[in-house]
Structure 1
Amino acid sequence: MGKQPEAADRRLPQYSEYMLSRREKAAALSAGAAVMAAVGYLFYHHWLGMLLLAAAGLRYTRIRRHTLLARKRARLAQQFKQALYSLSSSLSAGRSMENAFREAIADLKLLYPGTEVEMERELRIIAMRLENGEPIEQAVIDLSRRAAQEDISNFADVLVTCKRTGGDLIEVVRRTSSVIGEKMDIKQEIDVLVAQKRLEMKVMMAAPFLFLAFLNLASPDFMAALYEGVGRVIATVALLLLLLGAWLIHKLMDIRV
């Protein structure tokens, strides 16, 4: 019997991991293998180089999974901020907590018509738990545990403290939504500034490959020395340096607020 809650938790949405669907996994495998095989041809003009790099490209599924998880978590954070604004407005208007959550669901449906977004699904879960008599703080703590995001965890901690000490819930939600909103606005401004640099990085990383492809097409005789003897060693060192540079730039631009 003790394992039933754990099984139920696994059925709830999780935001600390992402499972690729069959289509997503097949697309990632194909894209990773194809791109790296093309790189292998550019740098080695040998089937073994293409095969080895294509095999390395299969690890792109891990990168793709991380990227999709980051997008999912970013969507949840943005939607959480919007839900907090809605909750604050509803509580200020005198609605009960249960009705405030229902109103937040309706507001999210207006913001994201035609689909059930992550936070809308979570608000429905919380509203259902409230209807079943579960304390609001317990429902929000469960969300914060699954989301594993600082803003949601802070809101849950403040809510628990407020309920225990009998604080002003309306004022707590209002101030919390204001602080989280300001923090996310700053993050969005940083993301806009970094986005341009990321585009420049992608262009810079693509330039050597495009230049090498151009030389192979324009002057194949001139490039022949690169694909034999010491040339292949030089090509390998150059490729490793390019990959190292891409990794370092990615780490430098991974700014957290």
Structure 2
Amino acid sequence: MEQWKRRTKERSRRYVSEAYVQTLAAAAGISMITAFLFYRSVWGMCTFFVFAPLCLKFRQKREAARREVQIQKEFLTAMESVSGALMAGYSLESAWKYAQQETEQMYGIQGIFSRELRQLNQKLFMHEPMEQLLYELAERCDNEEIYHFAEILLYAKRSGGNMTEIIHRTVCRMQEKHEVLREITANVAAKRAEQKMMMLLLPLMLWFLTVSSPEYTGALYGNPAGVLVMSGCLAGYLGALFWAEKIVDIPV
């Protein structure tokens, strides 16, 4: 077990290091393009110090959003398995073991929630309370849905309600929420593609003018006034990128 944990940590560190290097390389590439299109000077590479933190922040946000979606997807799969096992007559503890098997079969033993379920079942074997384990799981995953389920489970135990029926209804509501999320994602996908095409339009137009009519854009380079104008255009372009990303980023 200790060797497996060490291998997992080493694999995670390697992935983070590779992602960091790739992001910095992308920022350097963007800086080179910016230096050519907006400044026509090697000093334009100084924009790397602007783009590097922006790219890192953007990647972290995308990775966090992707991780959140994956956790919700795997958690829903686990809860469907728990609900099905309870309706088949399993105990709650056995239902979680069954959910672990189903989740590992579908997402692999390295799945985000598969690892969490293994840890949860190990602690259940040590007779730790289920509600406390779910609260800890929600905190580690930073997932509101898991926290709400822990609240529902705690209420069901205290009130002596029908655990199987309560969990089944909770899973049905989760399925409805995820269906709405899928519909919204599908509807927004076209707008995201349109946004990306529009964001490429300005650099492509500037490149076309630079190549086809260099005398037309020559006044914008090599003088303080041109640097100020192009810096203003670049700032406006980055602001438009940020605003467009906020528009298509629809939380559910």
Fold equivalence (TM over 0.5): yes
Q: 1:216 pairs with 190, 210, 216, which one?
A: 210
Is 1:206 paired with 2:200?
yes
CA–CA separation in structure 2 for the residues paired with 1:20 and 1:41: 32
CA–CA separation in structure 2 for the residues paired with 1:244 and 1:238: 10
Map of 2:58 onto structure 1:
63
Which stretch has the larger CA shift, 115-124 or 193-202?
115-124
Map of 1:87 onto structure 2:
82
CA–CA separation in structure 2 for the residues paired with 1:56 and 1:231: 20
Higher relative contact order (CA 8 A, sep 6+): 1
Percent identity over the alignment? Answer: 31
Is 1:37 paired with 2:37?
no
CA–CA separation in structure 1 for the residues paired with 2:59 and 2:129: 38
Map of 2:3 onto structure 1:
none
Map of 1:47 onto structure 2:
42
After the TM superposition, which residues 1-257 of structure 1 pair with which residues of structure 2 at under 5 Å, given as runs?
A: 21-50=16-45, 52-59=46-53, 60-113=55-108, 115-229=109-223, 230-257=225-252
The structural deviation recorded for 1:234 is 2.1
1:61-98 Cα offsets, whole Å, 9 max, x none, are 22212211221111001111111111100000001112
Which stretch has the larger CA shift, 32-41 or 75-84?
32-41
C-alpha contact (below 8 Å) 1:216/1:223 kept by paired residues: yes
C-alpha contact (below 8 Å) 1:33/1:56 kept by paired residues: no
CA–CA separation in structure 1 for the residues paired with 2:189 and 2:31: 25
The structural deviation recorded for 1:211 is 1.4
The structural deviation recorded for 1:255 is 1.0
For 1:93, give the aligned amino acid: A
Which stretch has the larger CA shift, 69-78 or 217-226?
217-226
1:205-240 Cα offsets, whole Å, 9 max, x none, are 111101111222222222211214333322222111
For 2:240, give the aligned amino acid: G
CA–CA separation in structure 2 for the residues paired with 1:133 and 1:109: 23
1:83-114 Cα offsets, whole Å, 9 max, x none, are 1111100000001112211211221233224x
Instruction: Say how many residue pairs are matched.
Output: 240
Q: Look up the SS of the partner of 2:127 in the other structure.
A: coil
Distance 1:196 1:224, change over 3 A: same
The structural deviation recorded for 1:19 is 11
For 2:205, give the aligned amino acid: F
Q: Unaligned stretches of 5+ in structure 1?
A: 1-10
C-alpha contact (below 8 Å) 1:126/1:139 kept by paired residues: yes
Q: Unaligned stretches of 5+ in structure 2?
A: 1-5
Q: Look up the SS of the partner of 1:95 in the other structure.
A: coil
C-alpha contact (below 8 Å) 1:144/1:152 kept by paired residues: yes
TM-score, length basis structure 2:
0.89
Distance 1:195 1:19, change over 3 A: farther
C-alpha contact (below 8 Å) 1:20/1:65 kept by paired residues: no
For 1:236, give the aligned amino acid: S
CA–CA separation in structure 1 for the residues paired with 2:189 and 2:28: 27
The structural deviation recorded for 1:40 is 2.3
